């Protein structure tokens, strides 16, 4: 558990070190119906944190990948969306998501991770973000 918290902290801190740009979404932002319908208002402090991730190779540049990541987090209703070069981070309720894009020759590699306490919500957010790539 201690190491999981450290890993999450490192993922968050490593991508947000050089003057990140913070974008607040309007309060009337429409959230996709299937994401918004999952109730995440209650929290069980005794529940183990969930960290769901996935990765893909893309026929895009890392910059294009990061733009898609930012657009995806914005469209899903994430708040405090921060982009630092090819790294994007956002908050959705009590969940946090990170999209990291890495340049590899003429393609890119995207790593998507979502953390939170509610398994279904974390899985759903990870799947919704992943679908856009």
Residues in a beta bridge with 110: 56, 101
**Digits of tens for pLDDT over the chain (133 positions)?**
554 454 454 444 444 444 444 434 443 334 444 455 555 555 556 677 899 999 999 999 999 999 999 999 999 999 999 999 999 999 999 999 999 999 988 889 999 999 999 999 999 999 999 999 9
Residue 89 near residue 13 (C-beta atoms within 8 A): no
Looking at residue 11, its pLDDT comes to 47
Cα angle vertex 14, ends 103, 49, to 5°?
A: 110
Looking at residue 65, its pLDDT comes to 95
Residue ranges with strand state E in 1-133: 21-23, 50-58, 79-84, 87-92, 95-104, 107-116
Which domains are delineated in the chain?
Answer: 2-26+50-131 (3.30.310.50)
Nearest in space to 11 (alpha carbons), one of 102, 98, 77: 98
pTM summary value: 0.66
Among left, alpha and beta (phi > 0; psi -120 to 50; other), residue 63 is: alpha
With 0-12 / 13-18 / 19 or more C-beta atoms within 10 angstroms meaning exposed / middle / buried, residue 16 is: middle
Looking at residue 35, its pLDDT comes to 55
């Amino acid at each position: 558990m201690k190491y999981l918290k450290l890993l999450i902290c490192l993922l968050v801190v490593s991508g947000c070190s050089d003057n990140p740009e913070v974008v607040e979404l309007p309060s009337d932002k429409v959230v996709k119906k299937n994401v918004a319908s999952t109730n995440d208002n209650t929290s069980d402090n005794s529940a183990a944190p969930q960290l769901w991730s996935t990765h893909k190779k893309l026929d895009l540049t890392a910059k294009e990948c990061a733009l898609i990541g930012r657009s995806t987090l914005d469209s899903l209703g994430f708040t405090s969306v921060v982009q630092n070069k090819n790294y994007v981070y956002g908050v959705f309720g009590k969940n946090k998501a990170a999209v990291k894009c890495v340049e590899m020759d003429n393609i890119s590699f995207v790593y998507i991770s979502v953390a939170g306490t509610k398994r279904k919500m974390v899985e759903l957010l990870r799947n919704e973000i992943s679908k856009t790539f």
